[in-house]
């Protein structure tokens, strides 16, 4: 008996899945005793299906998949929270197993989706939603489950990691790095979701929910992107012994779950400091296991399809054996989300000011008045336009006080000639 | 209904498991709906059980565990292939699920054990047998199963990785590094299994069996240890742009499975070159996923117990749900083991010779006659004892020819004053 699959979305990842099924179906039968059969393929573009040799399975109406009683398992690969939400929820209600790579959907409607899966006695699997091909959701739900996880740190957006690598190693400006990433196909025409951190935010919401057995949604994640990062910041960081990464962070704290995405300095000696280019890595700290890291390609047809098809085979194996769903929603604990105000860390802050006597002293006074103690202050850069960079590195300070400093500086006329670059330090 | 557990072996890892059950049993019930109950603890030393507060569960006769019809699951943590073999096979025959950290047993008797588990319709789980706390066996059997794996590379022995790190970074001799590792508890009094590579060989046998769906046993693995590695070798390697690691290697080749353990040069830019100290890492390359790496602590009570208890909870969840065993033996394909003779790679070879005119030319002639082309030849070191080091780096050469060179050099009287150090290059 084959497990019958309907696939919706024939872009890069969908095409990769079709190829894996075509190339390895016989291997899967021999190795795992599981026969997966692609019976229907839905997309807006018949040519995409034809390009992968499955034009005969094509439909442009997803209802022909979720309404087909023969189909056991639906792969949703169109992304987003619109039509994809309808497809996933309706497929589950129709009693079909669902595998998805949809981080936005899982990070916003995860709880609803888990409950629908529970009610229908089927499974929802979403390994590909975080870290491309890197196994991370399954290991956290199985191998690491005996741990109380204290922290999850992720470099989970390949676009920004590629850009930061290029800015840091080759001195490209933000704009040049973005242009190059777009030319290479690593960044979208509209790069907002990547460079402003929302893609990473959705992923850390998903990981935090699993790590802490408590629902974390996209809206819970405080998010800052990399638009204000310049080559000089990465150079300064390196001189201080740090690499700068757009880090997705989730810590268990006494005040609740501290969850955020922002440019972050990590020590050059840390394993994650060497994760460069489009590679992703997720770092998990547990009370028994200590430190572990999962590294690999975070995007692309092959890696994402590997994760989707790993889920498909796992689910198909249980369907074949007649085994009920095993792992459901990780939402038993109801932990609060910690306010970012109470965050205590060190800060690197740079902004451009007019090259005028007294500006530095005036800025330093604002830090001092808000109880932020400075570890180093530096004025740097040419003053050809009568502008200079001021670089402040603080001792451990409270986020709330830093916010007050930045607000006051922004309010001083003739002080800030640029939006401040703020990089937090994670030691 | 609780899942009743008998634990055999109360050393470091066993103690860690007892602590996890004591500290997290209620969490596991709440999070996963699984109640695990430790009902019997067996070891040779009652004091160890008492130290972890389970003196009342103590027995020194393992038959009281495998003969107890109440017990669902046996954790075997005594290691080795003697009594442990009896315990694991008898427990399976008695219809009990078994979780073990025993690499030697799985690498020698794996197939027998899988068949016994199949016959009894129970499971054998062994995540902790490789890489300590690092999830690797479960991800390879689940998340990565849609891949045809081409290579697995592992730094899977923390003792030797610690020693190589100390030799390389701080110039310790082999003997000093070993002594320090023993003092810190990273190496046994008899370090043979670690420094001669047998521990790593057992682990790569297990990983290769899973990666290639074909049984690989300890005896299939060609193994060389690190006894001949000196600080000068690591210094030479670094100057060439390489780190030296005791690498466990398994490649799928047209001739079959190429599986071996030996000191290996890897480029400093490779992610594994930064895996230092007692940390372990396993690098997996698949046709869809590309390159992935799993990093973490390879030894110690916490990490190993994390892996054991991950297996225990996973198995206990299936016992609780009444789900039959899902993943069995990965032994459907019968791939041959490739002969090492046909290996083609680059070699770094160093040996001590008398400081006499003509020795270098004579040695170089031997390489040439056996069709080994040299990329660089260097004479180095002081000659205070009338001895110098000769260092040869070859172009790509055949293992068979290198063996012939080394045999011939060893046969020349007055040529080799030391056993040659041979380091293969993996690019």
The string of DSSP codes covering A121-135 is T--EE-GGGSSTT--
Which residues from B are below 8 Å from A16, CB to CB? 288
Distance from CA of A308 to the nearest CA of B (A): 9
B253 in contact with chain A, both atoms CB, cutoff 8 A: no
Q: Which two tokens stand for residue B334?
A: 């019968």
Yes or no, beta carbons of B145 and A314 under 8 Å apart: yes
Task: Name the residue among A208, A285, A288, A213 with its Cα closest to residue A249.
Answer: A208
Which residues from B are below 8 Å from A309, CB to CB? 146, 288
Q: Under 8 Å CB-to-CB from B407, ≥6 apart: which residues?
A: none
Distance from CA of B313 to the nearest CA of A (A): 7
Which residue, among A138, A289, A333, A334, would best test binding to B if mutated, counting the most B CBs under 10 Å from its CB? Answer: A289
Average pLDDT over residues B138-149: 96
* pLDDT level of residue A188 (50, 70, 90 thresholds): confident
- Count the Cβ atoms, other than its own, within 10 Å of residue A371: 12
pLDDT tens, position by position, B327-338: 777 788 999 999
Name the residue with tokens 């001799």: B173
A121 in contact with chain B, both atoms CB, cutoff 8 A: no
pLDDT tens, position by position, A274-309: 999 999 999 999 999 999 999 999 888 999 999 999
Q: Are the CB atoms for B99 and B312 separated by under 8 Å?
A: yes
- What percentage of chain B reaches a pLDDT higher than 90? 87
Q: What is the residue-averaged pLDDT of chain A?
A: 95
Average pLDDT over residues B71-90: 97
pLDDT tens, position by position, B278-289: 999 999 999 999
Integer-rounded Cα Rg, in Å, for chain B is 24
B30 in contact with chain A, both atoms CB, cutoff 8 A: yes
Q: Under 8 Å CB-to-CB from B28, ≥6 apart: which residues?
A: A145, A146, B34, B35, B36, B313
Yes or no, beta carbons of B24 and A271 under 8 Å apart: no
* pLDDT level of residue B299 (50, 70, 90 thresholds): confident
Distance from CA of A225 to the nearest CA of B (A): 26
Taking the C-alpha atoms of residue B404 and residue B366, their distance in angstroms, rounded to an integer, is 9
Q: Which pLDDT value is given to residue A383?
A: 64
Q: What SS3 state is found at A311?
A: helix
A138 in contact with chain B, both atoms CB, cutoff 8 A: yes
- What percentage of chain A reaches a pLDDT higher than 90? 87
Residue A119 phi/psi, 5-degree rounding, is -60, -40
Q: What SS3 state is found at B127?
A: helix
Asked if the model's pLDDT at residue B342 lies above 90, the reply is: no
Give the chain B residue whose CA is nearest to the CA of A298. Answer: B289
Lowest mean pLDDT among A310-314, A355-359, B81-85: A355-359
- What percentage of chain A reaches a pLDDT higher than 70? 100
Which residues from B are below 8 Å from A147, CB to CB? 306
Which residue, among A145, A274, A301, would best test binding to B if mutated, counting the most B CBs under 10 Å from its CB? Answer: A145
Distance from CA of B333 to the nearest CA of A (A): 8
* Residues of A marked as catalytic: 203
pLDDT tens, position by position, B41-56: 999 999 999 999 999 9
User: Which residues 315-354 on chain A approach chain B with CB closer than 8 angstroms?
Assistant: 317-318, 321, 323-324, 326-327, 330, 332-333
B210 in contact with chain A, both atoms CB, cutoff 8 A: no
Which residues from B are below 8 Å from A7, CB to CB? none
* pLDDT level of residue B383 (50, 70, 90 thresholds): low
Distance from CA of B51 to the nearest CA of A (A): 19
Name the residue with tokens 């507060």: B53
Yes or no, beta carbons of A213 and B31 under 8 Å apart: yes
Yes or no, beta carbons of A288 and B16 under 8 Å apart: yes
In this complex, the residue of A143, A295, A297 whose CB is nearest that of residue B310 is A143
Which residues from B are below 8 Å from A154, CB to CB? none
Taking the C-alpha atoms of residue A273 and residue A243, their distance in angstroms, rounded to an integer, is 6
Which residues from A are below 8 Å from B291, CB to CB? 296-297
CA distances from A235 to A10, A164, A170, A172 (A): 42, 11, 11, 12
- Interface predicted TM-score of the whole assembly (ipTM), two decimals: 0.94
pLDDT tens, position by position, A378-396: 998 766 778 899 999 999 9
* pLDDT level of residue A328 (50, 70, 90 thresholds): confident
User: Which residues 272-291 on chain A approach chain B with CB closer than 8 angstroms?
Assistant: 274-275, 286-291
Question: Domains of chain A by range and CATH?
Answer: 3-132+301-321 (3.40.50.720), 137-297 (3.30.360.10), 341-425 (3.30.70.260)
Which residues from A are below 8 Å from B138, CB to CB? 138-139, 142-143
- What percentage of chain B reaches a pLDDT higher than 70? 100
- Tell me the pTM: 0.95
Residue A356 phi/psi, 5-degree rounding, is -140, 145
Q: Which pLDDT value is given to residue B384?
A: 72
In this complex, the residue of B135, B297, B314 whose CB is nearest that of residue A291 is B297
Name the residue with tokens 């091909």: A133
Yes or no, beta carbons of A289 and B296 under 8 Å apart: yes
Asked if the model's pLDDT at residue A342 lies above 90, the reply is: no
Q: What SS3 state is found at B155?
A: strand
Lowest mean pLDDT among A222-231, B325-334, B358-367, B369-378: B325-334
In this complex, the residue of A28, A293, A303 whose CB is nearest that of residue B296 is A293
Q: What is the residue-averaged pLDDT of chain B?
A: 95
Asked if the model's pLDDT at residue A73 lies above 80, the reply is: yes
CA distances from A402 to A167, A348, A360, B13 (A): 26, 11, 17, 45
Q: Which pLDDT value is given to residue B25?
A: 97
User: Which residues 156-185 on chain A approach chain B with CB closer than 8 angstroms?
Assistant: none
In this complex, the residue of B134, B287, B291 whose CB is nearest that of residue A296 is B291
Yes or no, beta carbons of B294 and A292 under 8 Å apart: yes
Task: Name the residue among A240, A246, A264 with its Cα closest to residue A343.
Answer: A264
* Residues of B marked as catalytic: 203
Q: Which two tokens stand for residue B192?
A: 């043979």
CA distances from A291 to A240, A242, B129, B297 (A): 24, 19, 18, 7
Q: Are the CB atoms for A45 and A10 separated by under 8 Å?
A: yes
pLDDT tens, position by position, A115-127: 999 999 999 999 9
B305 in contact with chain A, both atoms CB, cutoff 8 A: yes
Give the chain A residue whose CA is nearest to the CA of B304. Answer: A289
B235 in contact with chain A, both atoms CB, cutoff 8 A: no
Average pLDDT over residues B108-124: 96
Yes or no, beta carbons of A144 and B134 under 8 Å apart: no
Distance from CA of B189 to the nearest CA of A (A): 26
Strand ranges, E, within A43-167: 58-59, 73-76, 97-100, 124-125, 149-155
Which residue, among A142, A275, A332, would best test binding to B if mutated, counting the most B CBs under 10 Å from its CB? Answer: A142
Tell me which DSSP letter residue B55 carries: G
Q: Are the CB atoms for B3 and B37 separated by under 8 Å?
A: yes
């Amino acid at each position: 008996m084959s497990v019958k699959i309907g696939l919706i979305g024939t872009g890069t990842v969908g095409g990769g899945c079709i190829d894996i099924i075509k190339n390895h179906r016989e291997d899967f039968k021999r190795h795992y005793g599981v026969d997966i059969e692609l019976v229907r393929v839905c997309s807006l573009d018949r040519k995409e299906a034809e390009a992968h040799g499955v034009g005969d399975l094509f439909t442009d109406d997803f209802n022909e998949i979720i309404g087909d009683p023969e189909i056991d398992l639906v792969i949703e690969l169109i992304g987003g929270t619109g039509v994809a939400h309808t497809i996933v929820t309706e497929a589950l209600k129709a009693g079909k197993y669902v595998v998805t790579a949809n981080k936005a959907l899982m990070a916003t409607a995860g709880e609803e989706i888990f409950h629908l899966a529970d009610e229908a006695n089927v499974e929802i699997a979403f390994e590909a939603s975080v870290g491309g091909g890197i196994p991370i959701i399954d290991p956290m739900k199985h191998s690491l489950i005996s741990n109380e996880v204290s922290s999850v740190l992720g470099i989970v957006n390949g676009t920004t990691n590629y850009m930061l690598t290029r800015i840091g190693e080759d001195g490209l400006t933000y704009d040049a790095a973005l242009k190059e990433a777009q030319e290479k196909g690593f960044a979208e025409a509209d790069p907002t979701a990547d460079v402003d951190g929302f893609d990473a935010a959705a992923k850390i919401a998903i990981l935090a929910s699993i790590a802490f057995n408590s629902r974390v949604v996209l809206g819970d994640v405080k998010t800052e992107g990399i638009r204000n990062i310049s080559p000089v910041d990465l150079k300064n960081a390196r001189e201080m012994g740090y690499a700068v990464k757009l880090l997705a962070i989730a810590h268990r704290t006494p005040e609740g779950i501290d969850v955020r995405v922002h440019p972050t300095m990590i020590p050059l000696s840390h394993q994650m400091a060497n994760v460069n280019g489009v590679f992703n890595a997720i770092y998990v700290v547990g009370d028994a296991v200590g430190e572990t890291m999962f590294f690999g390609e975070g995007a692309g047809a092959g890696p994402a399809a590997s994760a989707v098809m790993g889920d498909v085979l796992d689910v198909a194996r249980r369907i074949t054996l007649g085994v009920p769903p095993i792992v459901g929603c990780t939402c038993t604990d109801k932990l609060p989300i910690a306010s970012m105000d109470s965050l205590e860390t060190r800060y690197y802050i740079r902004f451009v000011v007019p090259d005028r006597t007294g500006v530095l002293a005036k800025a330093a006074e604002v830090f001092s008045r808000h109880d932020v103690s400075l570890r180093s202050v530096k004025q740097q850069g040419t003053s050809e336009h009568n502008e200079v960079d001021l670089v402040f590195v603080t001792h451990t300070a409270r986020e709330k006080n830093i916010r007050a400093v930045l607000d006051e500086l922004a309010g001083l006329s003739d002080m800030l000639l640029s939006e401040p670059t703020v990089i937090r330090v994670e030691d």
